[in-house]
Amino acid sequence: MLTLAEICQATGGRLVAGQPSLKIDTFHFDTRMLSSQSMFIALTGGARDGHDFLQTAKENGAIAALISDITQIPQQEGMAYVVVEDTAMGFANIAKFYRSKLQIPIIAVTGSNGKTTTKDMIAHILESKKKTFKTYKNYNNHLGVPLSLLQIGPDHEIAVLEMGMNHAGEIDFLASIAKPDISVIVNVTDAHIEYLGSKENIAKAKGELLPHTSPNGFAILNGDNPYVVNLRDLYPGKAYFFRTGESADIYASEIQTTDRGTLYKVHIGKSSFTCTIPMFGLHNVSNTLPGIFIANQLGYNSEEIANSLTTLTISPMRFELVKHSGQTVMINDAYNASPTSMKSSITTFSGILPHLRKVLVLGDMFELGEQSIDFHRGVGEHINTLSNSFQMVVTVGDHSRYISELVGVPARHFEKKEQAAEFLQQFLTPEYALLFKGSRGMKLEEIVSSLTN
Ligand code: ATP
Ligand code: MG
């Protein structure tokens, strides 16, 4: 894949042992992921110094390591070393160099919520005809994006990468490495507002993707989100918009929910076709549109696209339908929560399964800074606009108490998950459906498993 000479060229590093012609085919900073032709990246600045693992890396098959401290090379000889000032930066530079040699289209996906879902949907549609690489799980940061790029193999025909951020400048960095041909901005909401201060700043930070996108490619942007629409001018190439309900370059209409999923009509230009997805939520309909549009641009026909959508799978804990021994319907949406995603999830829940009595189980939303209490109250107000939909609201944690306090339906707050689980036992009958949502740190799925065991 890359020779040590190329790695030195890419990083400006110095080879202290080994042959410049030595070929490396995989790279990793986790010694457990190394194989026989691999280079170990000794990261520093984390809980442990990667240099402490050089011996383990060699035992696990690494033939070379990227290091920043020559004094930590173990006594026993054996590996080749490339020495750089900063190994994380060196790793990014290797990925950047590798990307410049790749001939395949790269699709980048960013946004506040729904990146992983949208990335997985794009890849799912494309892989029906092309060997498609996609970011593994949620590897979307300054280490995950370089790692993903370096995992693209010689037989991949297209790649879809997720890019995440908490701070301004991060997407700029990731996009400068990945140099996408096609860019997708899913939305701009208040997730991570603690670090960025305002939605305008969040939008600007997502928009950093566009100047790095090839002007010969295209951008596909969420036309339902005014903050995203405003980013259009940052891109010199062709930008398209996707929308739900309203007309756009691609849009969905006649959206209907059934017990088994969602049915809707997709319009691209003058043509339209019917799609069904085995999942719920307007946001998920919206999340399918970039993938449908990209596939259409790449020559997939409507039948191929509609067929692949029927076999979409939802990642665990993303509005995942869990049944309690054929009885209570539980929807596990506990992967994460921001004010926007929580409200949208609650709205979705209110619109489905009309024959059941519904209970909301909501945990704290984190990273909301000084406005945290207001954001939690906002969720309570939102529930009040839908109050006929819910039988009970149960909140768990700390700030989520402000949701319970505000709602006009029966509500209980618990500080501990065990207490909430105990209380929820009474709803484990076939008449009820329970929705679980909270920030990742709340781990509300633990309540789901305690109720299903
Ligand atoms: P992360 O920042 O953790 O990588 P992400 O952006 O990849 O998150 P997903 O993991 O795809 O997002 O989805 C997380 C949650 O966001 C979902 O469970 C859902 O509640 C909500 N969500 C998904 N798509 C959208 C959307 N288009 N708009 C608003 N909320 C959404
Ligand atoms: Mg993600």
Amino acid at 425: Q
Structural domains in the chain? 2-87 (3.40.1390.10), 102-246+281-301 (3.40.1190.10), 320-452 (3.90.190.20)
For the complex shown, is ipTM > 0.90?
Answer: yes
Is the distance from CB of 172 to CB of 208 less than 8 angstroms? Answer: yes
Most distant CA atoms of the chain, gap in Å: 72
**pLDDT > 90 fraction of the chain, expressed in percent and rounded:** 85
Q: Whose CA is nearest to atom 24 of ligand 1?
A: 114
The ligand minimizing its distance to the Cα of 206 is: 1
Per DSSP, the residues of 11-49 read: HT-EEEES-TT-EE-EEESSGGG--TTEEEE---SSSS-
Is the distance from CB of 219 to CB of 185 less than 8 angstroms? Answer: yes
Residue written as tokens 């691209």?
268
> Do the annotations mark residue 115 as ligand-binding?
yes
Query: Whose CA is closest to 107, among 148, 155, 167, 142?
Result: 148
Pairing type for strands 357-363 and 390-396 reads: parallel
> 189 CA to middle of ligand 2, Å?
14
Say how far apart CA 146 and CA 7 lie, in whole Å.
Answer: 14
- Helix and strand tally (H, E) in the chain? 16, 22
Q: Name every protein residue with a CB atom under 6 angstroms from any ligand 1 atom.
A: 111, 113-117, 138, 140, 164, 186-187, 283, 286-287, 318-319, 333, 335-336, 340-341, 344-345
> 111 CA to middle of ligand 1, Å?
9
Residues 336-357: pLDDT tens digits? 999 998 998 999 999 888 889 9
User: Using CB atoms within 10 A of its CB, is residue 48 exposed (0-12), middle (13-18) or buried (19+)?
Assistant: exposed
> 117 CA to middle of ligand 1, Å?
7
Ranges in the chain, pLDDT < 70: 77, 259, 325-326
Ligand 1 pocket, mutate which of 109, 110, 112, 113 (most atoms under 8 A from CB): 113
> 301 CA to middle of ligand 2, Å?
28
The ligand minimizing its distance to the Cα of 114 is: 1
Q: What sign does the dihedral 388-446-119-130 (CA atoms) show? A: negative
Q: Whose CA is nearest to atom 22 of ligand 1?
A: 114
pLDDT at position 45: 87
pLDDT at position 257: 77
Predicted model pTM: 0.85
Say how far apart CA 211 and CA 234 lie, in whole Å.
Answer: 6
Question: CA angle at residue 230 from 264 to 281, to 5 degrees?
Answer: 25
pLDDT at position 326: 66
> 154 CA to middle of ligand 2, Å?
26
pLDDT at position 304: 97
> Do the annotations mark residue 23 as ligand-binding?
no
> Do the annotations mark residue 117 as ligand-binding?
yes
pLDDT at position 337: 95
Q: What sign does the dihedral 101-107-111-115 (CA atoms) show? A: negative
> Do the annotations mark residue 112 as ligand-binding?
yes
> Do the annotations mark residue 113 as ligand-binding?
yes
Beta strands in 261-309 (DSSP E): 261-268, 271-277
Question: CA angle at residue 197 from 191 to 202, to 5 degrees?
Answer: 55
